[in-house]
Chain A
Amino acid sequence: MNDRKKHRLARPGIVGISFIVALGALATYASAQDGNGELTGERLVNARKEPQNWATYFGAYDAWRYSSLDQIRADNVKNLVSVWAFQTGKVEGGLNATPLVVDGIMYLIASENRVFALNAETGERLWTYNYKFPRDLVSPYGKFNRGLAVGYGLVFFGTMDNHVVALNASTGKEVWNVEVEDGKKCGCNINGAPFIVRDKVIVGGTGGDSAHRGYISAFYAKTGRLAWRFYTIPGPGEPGHETWPDTEIWKYGGGSTWLTGSYDPAQNLIFWGIGNPSSDFNNAVRPGLNLYTNCIVAIDADTGKLKWYYQEIPHDAWDFDSAYEPVLMDITRNGKTEKLLVHPNKSGFVWVIDRVTGKFVNAWPYVDTITWVKSIDKDGNLIGRNEPEVGKQSLICPNWGGGRSWNHSAYSPRTGLWYNDGIEWCANVTVYPQEAREGRPFVAGNVDVKPPPDGNIRAHLDAFDPLSGQKKWSVPFKYPILSSLLVTAGDVLFTGDVEGRFLAFDAKTGKQLWSFNTGSGHRGGPITYSVRGRQYVAVPSGLGSIFVSGMPATWPEAANFQTGSAVFVFALPERK
């Protein structure tokens, strides 16, 4: 067990010179968008200085989902009025995305890789891009898409058939298109949002529940050429390969990278949560720690080389991905500022890790119902693992769907609180050993959702001290919250529920301040931005995803929750 704790690897050399050269080349590439100049990797490092924009998936590299805009505040949010709405035109798959806004233009990706550029003040459509799919498309992980990246005059996104595409941000015309891996063979595709770091676009992929070996890829933003690839399962001869058995299973062991990472410019490190090993529920086929599945990895942004890793759940048997957002916080206690990484896990725990050393700092539960492990000790060891076994049913809490789903948390440096949702539920897990067949489902288990031992299935929205896990307030919900959270310097926390209500809470107290029914449930990421001094809040509305498809088994009425696909935008009334 000791060898799984933080490993510091040699840091590669400084690459500043090549970076400057690369930026110089890019500067001539696309025309400047407006007075701010082109959106470059350098400008994105300082995204917090441009609160008028929501320029990256999480709003900034730290994954806070926080905005310093404060025109809309807890004391006036009740006055919000709808300003415009945009219908994407196809509802299948819902609307899972987080829109981006850069210099007055909103970029939106909807299901089936339809991309739109909109005037962020009026909703006027500037261009539409429809991705052309092959006739024999196989789409193992759904039609939805979680978001795109914008920079260097280009718009980047991953596709249902496992390509990465760059569009001209002014015209919506395709500039480059690369097939990352043959989607018909690998049982993988891309529905997470890419993000830009320096001169590269960084992108993960699905495939963790198929027989597939995961990786993170970096493409040069300008050309689409592959810059580096980090495999989440080390190959023969690489450190960590010994944590897999001496069979071919490492080629099929999962470790997908289906969401989006964060980035620390000071260290030039990309942090990424790596998904579960497969087969998900039958860990007998892969004795060993199974690195780097269920790890936080820190990767040099220029080279793709591993700097350190921390494995939260070695040798997973529960499909508890470590894929959720790594939130970067600098927290001062006892007069000392620590550079931390706060990381919610599907398993119901939050891990707190030192993001310089990769050392374990703390782990604390964000849900009440946890039976897969008895506890996590002060060194991060899992005590009392309750693994499902072949040939018998095991009650595991939380359910496979997670202590929460992938929709993201938010952190406010003003309140010092980290906002998150939670679900109290369990499942009877039955293990069915399966043989690995490349690109085919490799789950090896079924789950039957059950209520927790102490009552009904229920959900909640909470505010925590991110380091200790002390709960500051909690709001109960009947159904899981499946929308990402947004918190602002006006001390307002926004999210939406699965029945369609867009909700605003007082970030300090949890008091509900406002709601607006958009007519379909919330599964995407609300954002805030401003144009010409007016602050807007935009929310995608449109229920649909793997999680949502499974809901009627637990909540039969959810079969009648309407899907949709629209963005609603709100602001305070204009002064006459």
Chain B
Amino acid sequence: MSEVNEARVSTNFLRGDAFRRGSCRLRAVALFGVVGAGLVTIGQPRRILSAPPQADKLKEPQFIAEGAKLFAPSCGNAYCHGAGGVGGGAPRLRGKALEAAYLFKTISGGISGTAMLSFKSEFSEEQIWKLVAFIMSDVKPIPDARPETSVADKPSPIAVRGSAETTAESSVTGSVQAGKSLFFDSSQSRSCHRCHSLQGEGTSIGPELSKVAGRSPRELFLSIILPHDVKDPRYSTLKLTLRSGEKIAGIKKEEDAESIRIYDTTELPVVLRTIQKGEVVKLESGSESVMPKDYASIYTMKQLLDLVTFLKSSELKSPVMLKDLVE
């Protein structure tokens, strides 16, 4: 891990024109001095749903066998459909005369409200058709089949999320993918998506963020790390003092004649509380954002660069670089 990733940004250091101080500039140049190459592009362009393979293809022994190999690790565990599609915690799949198109759609998109996940990010369309072929077949499962891609031989299993990018190029410019991982990091209570949504994912406590892509990198950077005012009154701060003496600060969700529902942002994760109006002795509102004010001490400079890069990714014409944040 480079020194950059270790460096924490102190809030003092960021206030005013601290960025223009020689030491900062020097540090930035020293650490990010190499001009970066290309950016990681988000997602591959979606292919049009391929037509189902010929019915004959779904009956090809080789095609079915490849489906069986894919099925075992991803679908066949006992919490899911069980070895060979029978006897798991999820519904039995084999011998049920399910239709190919239905199976394809279900594997690809999942079933909302159930444990059936979407697999379109995990499998190609051809692989899903192979799974369909196996499920529709009466071929016995191959319980000792090795999966198509074995990770057993890899010396160190690195998980998909948060894999550290250590190449010189990526430390110069922000990474869309790394920024996206941070934005949607579910293990952190302070993760952006716990309050904001973007690209159709996340939570709608704070503003939806697709429109911020038009802002400058520096503006985005400062709005993450520094306290700021919100212009949209829907997100202004509401401060309640209760009869019990308790003070609550947060964003109002809704209210009716008797109660106020407020996102209490005092501690994270955010708590949606229903407060009876009779309990409220004082009510104030302000324009200051309720965003946590400690992102500068939580994220490294590189992580902040990644986040800004991700936020700008829909309008990105050239790579976001560290100098874009500080100048």
Residues in A lying within 8 Å of B, measured CB to CB: 25, 28-29, 133, 135-142, 173-182, 184-186, 209, 211, 213, 223-226, 245-249, 251-252, 280, 282, 284-285, 390-393, 400-401, 428, 430, 432-441, 443-449, 545-547, 549-550, 552-554
A433 touches B114 (CB 8 A): no
**A550-B89 contact in complex given A224-B264, A439-B186, C-beta closer than 8 Å:** yes
For B142, the closest partner residue in chain A by CB is A430
A185 touches B271 (CB 8 A): no
At the interface, yes or no: B233 with Cβ under 8 Å from chain A? no
- The minimal Cβ–Cβ distance linking B292 to chain A, given in whole angstroms, is 13
A436 touches B184 (CB 8 A): no
Q: What's the Cα separation between A174 and B82 when bound, in Å? A: 39
B113 touches A179 (CB 8 A): no
Q: Which residues of B (243-293) have their CB < 8 Å from a CB of A?
A: 244-246, 264, 266-274
What would 18 more interface pairs be, CB under 8 Å, given A138-B110, A179-B269, A182-B191? A176-B264, A176-B272, A178-B270, A181-B186, A181-B187, A182-B194, A223-B273, A225-B264, A249-B157, A249-B159, A280-B77, A434-B74, A441-B77, A443-B78, A446-B84, A550-B82, A552-B87, A553-B87
B143 touches A446 (CB 8 A): yes
- The minimal Cβ–Cβ distance linking A446 to chain B, given in whole angstroms, is 4
Q: What's the Cα separation between A349 and B80 when bound, in Å? A: 26
**A185-B79 contact in complex given A140-B115, A436-B159, C-beta closer than 8 Å:** no
Q: What's the Cα separation between A142 and B113 when bound, in Å? A: 9
B87 touches A213 (CB 8 A): no
A433 touches B147 (CB 8 A): yes
Number of residue pairs spanning A and B whose beta carbons lie under 8 angstroms apart = 197
- The minimal Cβ–Cβ distance linking A307 to chain B, given in whole angstroms, is 24
A433 touches B88 (CB 8 A): no
Q: Which residues of A contact B244 (CB under 8 A)?
A: 25, 28-29
B274 touches A175 (CB 8 A): yes
Q: Which residues of A contact B191 (CB under 8 A)?
A: 182
- Contact pick for B273, options A179, A213, A224, CB 8 Å: A224
B115 touches A139 (CB 8 A): yes
At the interface, yes or no: B161 with Cβ under 8 Å from chain A? yes
At the interface, yes or no: B130 with Cβ under 8 Å from chain A? no
Q: Which residues of B (125-170) have their CB < 8 Å from a CB of A?
A: 141, 143-144, 146-147, 150-152, 156-163
For B160, the closest partner residue in chain A by CB is A437
Q: Which residues of A contact B91 (CB under 8 A)?
A: 549
Q: Name 19 A/B residue pairs within 8 A (Cβ), A-sorted.
A: A25-B244, A173-B274, A176-B271, A177-B273, A179-B270, A182-B184, A182-B193, A223-B273, A247-B157, A252-B159, A390-B152, A391-B146, A392-B144, A433-B73, A436-B160, A441-B79, A443-B73, A446-B78, A447-B77
Q: What's the Cα separation between A225 and B270 when bound, in Å? A: 8
- Contact pick for A546, options B89, B117, B147, B160, CB 8 Å: B89
For A253, the closest partner residue in chain B by CB is B159
Q: What's the Cα separation between A434 and B71 when bound, in Å? A: 12
Q: Which residues of B contact A209 (CB under 8 A)?
A: 77, 79
B87 touches A449 (CB 8 A): yes
For A227, the closest partner residue in chain B by CB is B267
Q: Which residues of A contact B267 (CB under 8 A)?
A: 225-226
A546 touches B79 (CB 8 A): yes
A211 touches B272 (CB 8 A): no
Interface of A is mostly: loop
Q: Which residues of B contact A390 (CB under 8 A)?
A: 146, 152
Q: What's the Cα separation between A432 and B245 when bound, in Å? A: 57
B115 touches A438 (CB 8 A): no
Q: What's the Cα separation between A142 and B244 when bound, in Å? A: 39
Q: Which residues of B contact A185 (CB under 8 A)?
A: 184, 186, 193
At the interface, yes or no: B90 with Cβ under 8 Å from chain A? yes
Q: What's the Cα separation between A224 and B272 when bound, in Å? A: 8
- Contact pick for A549, options B73, B88, B162, B246, CB 8 Å: B88
A225 touches B271 (CB 8 A): yes
Q: Which residues of A contact B143 (CB under 8 A)?
A: 393, 428, 430, 446, 448
A550 touches B203 (CB 8 A): no
Q: Which residues of B contact A29 (CB under 8 A)?
A: 244
Q: What's the Cα separation between A176 and B189 when bound, in Å? A: 17
Q: Which residues of B contact A178 (CB under 8 A)?
A: 269-272
Q: What's the Cα separation between A179 and B91 when bound, in Å? A: 29
- Contact pick for B122, options A174, A401, A437, CB 8 Å: A437
Q: Which residues of A contact B193 (CB under 8 A)?
A: 182, 185
A247 touches B160 (CB 8 A): no
Q: Which residues of B contact A133 (CB under 8 A)?
A: 113
At the interface, yes or no: B326 with Cβ under 8 Å from chain A? no
Q: Which residues of B contact A251 (CB under 8 A)?
A: 159, 161-162, 187
For A436, the closest partner residue in chain B by CB is B159
Q: Which residues of A contact B87 (CB under 8 A)?
A: 448-449, 550, 552-554
Q: Which residues of B contact A433 (CB under 8 A)?
A: 73, 147, 150-152
For A163, the closest partner residue in chain B by CB is B272
Q: Which residues of B (59-90) have their CB < 8 Å from a CB of A?
A: 72-74, 76-80, 82-84, 86-90
Q: What's the Cα separation between A175 and B267 when bound, in Å? A: 17
Task: Fill in one digit per residue for B168-211: 1 if any A CB lies within 8 Å of its CB, else 0.
Answer: 00000000000000001011010101100000010100000000
Q: What's the Cα separation between A554 and B92 when bound, in Å? A: 13
**A547-B150 contact in complex given A226-B268, A248-B158, A448-B83, C-beta closer than 8 Å:** no
B186 touches A438 (CB 8 A): yes
